[in-house]
Structure 1
Amino acid sequence: MTVKGVAAIGECMLELSGRSGDSWRMGFAGDTFNTLWALHALSGERPATYISAFGDDPFSRDQIDFLAGHGIGIGASPIIAGARPGLYAITLTGAERSFTYWRNDAAARQLAADPSALERSLKNQSLVYFSGITLAILDAPAREVLLAAIAAARAAGSLIAFDPNYRPRLWPSLAVAQAAVSQALAVTDIALPTFPDEQMLFGDVEPAATGARLAKTVNEIVVKNGEAPALVLAAHQQEQVPAIQVATPVDTTGAGDSFNGGYLAARLAGYAPAEAARRAHQVAAAVVQVRGALAPFDVLQAAFEG
């Protein structure tokens, strides 16, 4: 029997993270890729696929080789002649980070350019994950293609997980973002929003308001809220699951993404939602104690089981 895989859709970028002086370290990261990285590390033998579009330049080839070297395929993602990956740089003030982006002509903006390739990549997946950033980098027709493909995968049996991950600078207007996120939620089984994002996007006054609004559409919801407890709503019940306080975080990059990966891995392993959130908090706490968005697999695995 074929083991069904896990897939994420979005943009894997070149990541520059600062060291001392003028030295920079280059890696690969991006919100949905960070989640897939943790999900893959914690999901045993399930095949992992990162669905995007890639260029044909040396950096794109290095990206694809990096993914393959860690057991992550790219499915039928197109390789686009003359295209290149997006780039971002992280600067830190203590453990808090800020980002500078160069991504307007990134290859990933064409990830829905070939609907048949997208459909092939989504076949035979136990779980498909995407985000508001995935939607934001696409134009309106491409968003429609993507959401139709996700709806088809859901109808074929895939579990669909979505993090609205609202980034105002990526959207032409608040109204466009609200409409696109609402369309995505209509094809979602597990929603993983962050409360401050939802407050900006929909004006929610508290996490409970986010949960109540999403519960009209989605059956399982985890509202993340930084160092505050996560609100878990599932099976007509809700529970607050405390976060883990890290006294001296090193770098908070990727913490929420890794929480998502830990949560989804736990749910696929059969853990109840509240226990999945507890394990996800442990994963996020481990990630903020390393530099960059991607913690080593053994670190993630130890945190998940701890």
Structure 2
Amino acid sequence: MTRIASIGECMIELSGRDGATWKQGFAGDTLNTLWYLRALLPEDIATDYVTAFGDDPFSQEQIAFLSGNGIGISHSPVIPGKAPGLYAVSLDDKGERSFTYWRSDAAARRLADDRDALAASLSDAGLVYFSGITLAILDEDARSAMLAIVEKAREADTAIAFDPNYRPRLWPNRDAARAAVNAGYRAATIVLPTFDDEQALFDDESPADTVERIRQHGPGEIVVKSGGKDALVAVGMAAHPVAPPQPVEPLDTTGAGDSFNGAYLAARLSGRTPQEAALFAHSVAGRVIRHHGALVPMEGFSDLRFPGDILSGQAFEKM
């Protein structure tokens, strides 16, 4: 059985505010991406969310929520006395969102404390996914340890996908963020950046500049997202823009890039070319932004799920 592992932070999400009333859910960038991978791939592809949980009732709810949606937790530790982080999403009249966070002492910041457990969680995975937020919530020693474990998995022929997902407030300064993101590029075989983030962090002038800069770190497949605009798909030395199939008026852009990543990776695992995968990912993201919240119910993608007979363990070897 083939397995996917996504590393990061599952948070309590407050969204859909109506006066003083909020809708509670669970989300987080790397969880969002795994959610759409799970929604789009056959059931025999195992999915694990790799993090650290607290021993509080909300953490137990998180684990039950994941399990109820076909997502395991592998060897993720439970940290006594800890609890999940929390964030609230506010929307303007154009569907653009702003976030308020309470996460400084979240359990997920301890996900790399037990190196053996983390290594066991990634062992034998065909695809490992992580983000710049995964790196940002860890202290320097834990971050280095996590990257070393990811690189060891890559050396064992695991495909490694990375979204730099730069969030300035999580970093002490740009130099620290640049160093960590560059290390993430070097660990990855597939990089899925967003141009606005790369421009903010590295002063890139265009998506093509982003591709050329990231190429120097070694990943052979780079897909630069630009919101509702063309994605730039670069494999080897070739780069091709891929436009969305049609314009979509968003209700809520939360999770758009994460859903693009999940759909892109699902399509690649299912044998689609990078350009075909980017077009498919645009379609999925377009569906997601017509709903509120980061996680659209999985049954809403049943018509797009890839059949099991086109997947095999070799799909991971070709990524």
Query: Is 1:78 aligned to residue 80 of structure 2?
Result: no
Q: Distance in 2 between matches of 1:274 and 1:249?
A: 23
2:198 is aligned to 198
1:12-71 Cα deviation digits (max 9, x unpaired): 000001332211100000000000000111121200000000001000000000000001
Distance apart, 1:304 and its partner CA: 6.5
State how far apart, in whole Å, the 1-side matches of 2:172 and 2:302 are. Answer: 39
Matched with 2:222 is 221
Say which of 33, 36, 39 aligns to 1:35: 33
Q: Which residue of 1 aligns with 2:139?
A: 139
1:15 is aligned to 13
**Could you tell me how far apart the structure 2 residues matched to 1:252 and 1:301 are?**
21
Q: Normalised by the size of structure 2, how large is the TM-score? A: 0.93
Seq. identity, %: 56
**Does the aligned pair in 1 maintain the 2:87–2:99 contact within 8 Å?**
yes
Contact in 2 for aligned 1:262/1:304 (Cα 8 Å): no
Alpha-carbon displacement from aligned partner over 1:113-169 (angstroms, at most 9, x marks no partner):
000000100011110000000000000000011001101111112100000000000
> Post-superposition shift, 1:244?
4.4
Map 1:104-143; keep pairs closer than 5 Å.
Answer: 104-143=104-143
| Structure-1 residue corresponding to 2:296 | 295
1:243 CA drift (Å): 2.1
* CA–CA separation in structure 1 for the residues paired with 2:54 and 2:18: 31
Residue 268 (structure 2) pairs with residue 260 (structure 1):
no
When the two structures are aligned, how many residues end up with a matched partner? Answer: 303
Q: Distance in 1 between matches of 2:248 and 2:271?
A: 31
Which has the higher mean CA deviation after the structures are superposed, 296-305 or 156-165?
A: 296-305
SS in 2 for 1:98: strand
Match of 2:234 in 1: 233
TM-score (norm 1): 0.97
Q: What's the CA shift string for 1:276-301, capped at 9, x where partnerless?
A: 00000011000001110001213234
In structure 2, what is the equivalent of residue 48 of structure 1?
A: 47
Q: Is residue 74–residue 121 contact of structure 2 (8 Å, CA) maintained in 1?
A: yes
Quick check: 1:275 aligned with 2:276? yes
Q: Any unmatched runs of 5+ in structure 1?
A: none
Of the two structures, which has the highest relative contact order with CA contacts closer than 8 Å and spacing of 6 or more? 2
Deviation of 1:4 after TM superposition, in Å, equals: 1.7
Q: Secondary structure at the match of 1:160?
A: strand
| Structure 2 match to 1:24 | 22
Amino acid at match of 2:84: P
Residue 186 of structure 1 pairs with residue 186 of structure 2: yes
For 1:203 and 1:301, the matched residues in 2 are separated by 40
Contact 2:41 2:305 in 1 (8 A): no
Structure 2 residue ranges without an equivalent (≥5): 307-319
Partners of 1:82 and 1:294 in 2: CA distance:
28
